[in-house]
Amino acid sequence: MTPVTVNGSEQIAAAFERAAAEDRAALIVYLTACFPDPATSRACFEAAVEAGADILEIGVPFSDPMMDGPIIQQANQHVLDAGTSVGEQLDLVRSLGHLDVPKLVMTYVTIADTRGYASFADELADAGLAGVILPDLPVPEADAWLAEARRRDLATVFLASSISSDERLDAIGQASSGWVYATGLLGVTGVKSIAGDITRDLVGRVRARTDLPVAVGIGVKDRASAAEVATYADGVIVGSSIVSAAADGDPAGAPARVAALVRELREGVAANR
């Protein structure tokens, strides 16, 4: 099968527009690739989309994930201990081609850098990915990567923080494609709950600087927090609690547990509109 080249940014924009047309925030679901094993992982991604995920973030594990709390760290370590390679994780991505949602890889810059930015961009685009999130690649260091990402029409989603200066938010708004990822708290994934007022303020500051959708992640974990964020953001990103759903219990039941949580979250993102 010849890979179909798609424009990642347009694909992502369409997903946000579909959600907006239904008067709700988009639901972006993170799961670690090949966790707890490739077959179960594939079933979990399918279950997430079936249950209402609009966009998938596919975590490619890195040995030293400084932005991740214990839940995602342990999932990553499990996949690394099983000896799964980045190539095998991208095989999994290719096997998700039948899921009609934009798919982005979330990983760390060392993975992209070691493979070479040009090769990595080719690998992602050829696997049918719409874009990438690299939390330890801030805009001032990103020129070389952005050139390769644009060459292959991959979106690059940058993170914005409540402590980002206005100048940095300007740069983030200009460099991002797909959406801008507003971090809901000062911290790593899956530990603390979202800081509401600070995040709402951050989303407002980002909106003033870009036409892109603004999605909030880190600290969103359940129906209630998703519903709260959906009142002021275009998208809601949930990771650690979904990985927990996949991890806590027997692997055979993982897809059903993921689906149940995603259904709740999907209700949440539509609740307060």
Partner 1 sequence: MSMTETPASSVAPSVDERADDVVRDGYFGRFGGQYVPESLSGALAQLVDAWADAQADPAFEAELDDLRRNYGGRPTPLYRASRLSEEAGVEVWLKREDLAHTGSHKLNNVVGQALLTRRMGKPRVIAETGAGQHGVATATAAALFGLDCTVYMGAEDVRRQRLNVVRMQLLGTEVVPVDSGTRTLKDAINEAMRDWVSNVDDTHYLIGSAMGPHPFPTIVRELQKIISVESTQQFTDQVGGRPDAVIACVGGGSNAIGSFAEWIGIDGVKLIGVEAAGEGVGSGRSAATISEGREAVLHGSRSIVLVNDDGQVKPAHSVSAGLDYPGVGPEHAWLASTGRGIYVSATDADALHGFRRTCELEGIIPALEPAHAVGWLLRHGCDELGEGAKIVLTMSGRGDKDVDEVVEVAGWDVGVAKAFGEDTGAGS
Q: Considering the rule CB under 8 A, would residue 78 count as an interface residue with partner 1?
A: no
Indicate the residue type of 34: C
Opening angle at CA 240, ends 213 and 138, nearest 5? 50
Q: Considering the rule CB under 8 A, would residue 82 count as an interface residue with partner 1?
A: no
**Contact status, residue 252 vs residue 232, Cβ threshold 8 Å:** no
Q: Considering the rule CB under 8 A, would residue 223 count as an interface residue with partner 1?
A: no
Q: Which is nearer to partner 1, 186 or 224 (CB)?
A: 186
Q: Which is nearer to partner 1, 111 or 118 (CB)?
A: 111
Burial of 107 (0-12, 13-18, 19+ CB in 10 A): buried
Q: Considering the rule CB under 8 A, would residue 119 count as an interface residue with partner 1?
A: no
Binding partner 1 (rule: CB under 8 A), the pick from 13, 31, 53, 112 is 112
Q: Which is nearer to partner 1, 122 or 267 (CB)?
A: 122
Q: Considering the rule CB under 8 A, would residue 160 count as an interface residue with partner 1?
A: yes
Q: Which is nearer to partner 1, 144 or 260 (CB)?
A: 144
Opening angle at CA 192, ends 80 and 44, nearest 5? 45
The whole-angstrom separation of Cα 225 and Cα 194 is: 8
213 contacts: CB under 8 Å, gap ≥ 6? 13, 16, 26, 179, 180, 234, 235
Give catalytic residue positions. 57, 68
Q: Which is nearer to partner 1, 97 or 116 (CB)?
A: 116
**Least distance (Å) from partner 1 to the CB of residue 160?**
6
The whole-angstrom separation of Cα 45 and Cα 104 is: 12
Site string for partner 1, 26-55 (x = CB under 8 A): ------------------------------
Q: Which is nearer to partner 1, 40 or 189 (CB)?
A: 189
Site string for partner 1, 172-211 (x = CB under 8 A): x----------x--xxx--xx-------------------
**Least distance (Å) from partner 1 to the CB of residue 259?**
30
β-strand pairing of 103-106 with 131-133 = parallel
Total number of residues that touch partner 1 (CB under 8 A): 44
190 contacts: CB under 8 Å, gap ≥ 6? 68, 69, 70, 71, 72, 221, 239, 240, 241, 243, 244
Q: Considering the rule CB under 8 A, would residue 159 count as an interface residue with partner 1?
A: yes
Binding partner 1 (rule: CB under 8 A), the pick from 3, 39, 66, 119 is 66
Binding partner 1 (rule: CB under 8 A), the pick from 71, 86, 106, 230 is 86
Residues that bind partner 1 (CB under 8 A): 62-70, 73, 77, 80, 85-87, 109-115, 135-138, 140-141, 158-165, 168, 172, 183, 186-188, 191-192
